[in-house]
Structure 1
Amino acid sequence: MTSNETRWDQFVEEVANEGTVWTIEKSGEYVTSNNRFGTKCFPWWSSRARVLKQLETVPAYSGYQQIGFEWHVFLEEWVPHLRRARCLLGINYASHENVGFDLPIQEVIEAVSQTRV
């Protein structure tokens, strides 16, 4: 299993068990980036510790802060906007290169929903 696959499995398990997803913001602005195919991606992490580590690792994230959302808030408030923006979800990015999976929203929702306890 690759480290990306491990991070994906951890994302699903942690979000399903903890019920929270994390992203970063600075003054009400959120980070997006384009992947190598030019598709807009919005990064999400499955734990506060993961996002804090990434904030320390990526110089471009200087000044950003972590912010968590309960899973139901993510589904109700974030998903409609992310779908309209045609974003993929960047899952548990790691290292200074922000390596991770960029996945369709529905795939992430289904995986977490099937794993929820």
Structure 2
Amino acid sequence: MTISSAHATAFFEEVVREQQVWTIRDVHGFPAPLGSDGFRSMPFWSLSSRAERVISNVQDYAGFEKVMIPLSDWRSKWLPGLERDGLRVGLNWSGSRATGYDVEPSAALASLTTRQPSE
């Protein structure tokens, strides 16, 4: 399993457990950089600490702030909006260039649907 694959798996496990998703923004809004595949992706993280690490370690995201989104809002509002806008979902991007898996919003929703919160 690659590091990106492990981060993607952890993303879904952690967001279901924590019932929240994290993203980042600055005065210009939420980032959605163009990837090498020609698609734009908006990054999301499963834990506050993961988002904070990218803000602290990736120059392009210096000055950004973390934003918490309740999982219910992410599912019902954000994912349909991303789908409408033709954006992909970046899952737990990490490393010095903030990279990782990007998936279609419908695939992210399907992955959430197959997981249940731990009791």
TM-score range, shorter chain: over 0.9
Could you tell me which runs of 5 or more consecutive residues in structure 2 were left unpaired when the two chains were aligned.
none
Could you tell me which runs of 5 or more consecutive residues in structure 1 were left unpaired when the two chains were aligned.
none
Structure 1 residues 1-117: aligned runs within 5 Å: 1-27=1-27, 29-117=29-117
Is residue 79–residue 109 contact of structure 2 (8 Å, CA) maintained in 1? no
* Percent of aligned pairs sharing the same letter: 23
Q: CA RMSD in A?
A: 1.1
Amino acid at match of 2:99: V
Amino acid at match of 2:19: G
Q: 1: distance between equivalents of 2:74 and 2:28?
A: 16
Find the residue that maps to 1:33 and give its secondary structure.
coil
Q: Runs in 1 of length 4+ with deviation above 3 angstroms?
A: none
**Deviates further, 84-93 or 24-33:** 24-33
Q: 1: distance between equivalents of 2:91 and 2:115?
A: 16
Q: 1: distance between equivalents of 2:35 and 2:27?
A: 24
TM-score by length of 1: 0.94
Q: Which has the higher strand share?
A: 1
- How many residues align structurally? 117
Is residue 16–residue 113 contact of structure 1 (8 Å, CA) maintained in 2? no
